[in-house]
Amino acid sequence: MKNDTHKLVLLAVLVFVSYFSFSQQTIILQPGPSEGKDARVWSLSPNSNFWDYPYIKANAWTWSGVFGIERTFIEFDIDSIPPDVEITSAKLSFFYHYFEVPIEQTNYGDNSGLIQRVITPWSEAGVTWDNQPTATGENQVIVPPTTDPQQDYTDIDVTNIVIDMYNDPENSYGFFFRIFNEEQYRRLAFASSDHPDSEKWPMLVITYECDLPIANFSFIVENGFVQFTDLSLNATSWNWDFGDGYSSTLKNPVHQYYSSGPHIVCLTVENDCGTDMICDTVRPVITSLSSNKIMGKINIFPNPTNGLTKISFGQQNFEYLNLYISDIQGRVIFTDRKNFNSDSYIMVDFSGFNQGIYFVRLVSDTINEIKKIIVK
């Protein structure tokens, strides 16, 4: 029984973690005249383009006794959906294009509609009946006939079509909309993205689930230097606050501290679904060396610099000298180790450094000194 209880607890923990590692996001696309892409084509004017009209139609009608067909193409920009998400819902809404004058064309007849995915490119200002793009019947949606001549169609379920668009963007160019049976006196008429009332523009609402970032990190302390290692899940960007006024956007930074602390380090991670933060305490060990003979005698010339620079430290005998150069964010970007006994200076070439403030740290058996240098 004990083992079964343990399994149940573990399962509950896994379910809890799984539930809170997902985020449900919704985007609403309802573009207007400048961003919207919709156009109507007409069989009786096969080379004409109707892209800036305030209404769109799926229509099978007669004009002066001559039968013709009107169809509509409409495309929404779904590039704002992040990669690697699960689309759970996509609802398309059309709104009746009411005007006081002139008298509107209304919904009429046995006007079941058909919505399909367009699979070849088209231009809003260039599409005509004769060059209309190709559409596929895969996952097509049949819209039931209207019950009112001025009826809105809200929340048409086009989830599977949008999933196909998301999974195959190279072969997806919006929606094709027409009367299901293009027989005489059947019409659907709606506002386009050029309609003067913004509430009537065609609208696509997409809901998707994605993985939330989960912040985590480890660190290794080596005297005043701390190597941080990101252990986060699903992160695409990192923001470290080292607790001493410095920060970094690197994934795995190395930071140099100049006091023992304690320092509260916080890591904030982010992706397209959200953010997460975690903090921990770091206690670097800052060794205070006895260096009375040279304290304050380290000199950097020239400073500011943009090339070869002399760092001198008086007449001393060293077995070794470690050099660390870090930027204003505390990232160590250059290290060197000199083994000598009599030289009282070293030369460093800063010509490859970006302009800014840097810190030069010298460490040996008798030195633990930090100086600021400006690269111009």
DSSP structure string for 286-326? ------TTTTT--EEESSSBSSEEEEE--S---S-EEEEEE
pLDDT bucket at 186, cuts 50 / 70 / 90:
very high
Instruction: Locate CATH 2.60.40.3080 in the chain.
Output: 299-375
Composition of the chain by helix, strand, coil, percent to 5:
10, 45, 45
Residue type at 354 in one-letter notation: N
pLDDT in tens, 190-216: 999 999 999 999 999 999 998 889 999
pLDDT in tens, 309-327: 988 776 566 667 778 888 8
Q: Which residues contact 266 (CB under 8 A, 6 or more apart)?
A: 240, 241, 243, 277, 278, 279
3-state secondary structure of 214: strand
Class of domain 217-282: mainly beta
Instruction: Locate CATH 2.60.40.10 in the chain.
Output: 217-282
Q: Which residues contact 346 (CB under 8 A, 6 or more apart)?
A: 310, 311, 321, 323, 336, 338
Task: Give domain 299-375's CATH number out of 1.25.40.80, 3.20.20.70, 2.60.40.10, 2.60.40.3080.
Answer: 2.60.40.3080
- Residue 68's DSSP bridge partners are 61
- For range 158-177, the mean pLDDT: 98
Nearest to 375 by CA among 346, 354, 348: 354
pLDDT in tens, 289-299: 443 344 446 78
Dihedral sign for Cα 123, 128, 130, 136, please.
positive
Q: Is the pTM of this model over 0.85?
A: no
Alpha-carbon distance of 239 to 375, in angstroms, equals: 25
pLDDT in tens, 10-54: 333 333 334 456 788 899 999 999 999 999 999 999 999 999 999
pLDDT bucket at 179, cuts 50 / 70 / 90:
very high
Looking at per-residue pLDDT, the higher value among 365 and 48 belongs to 48
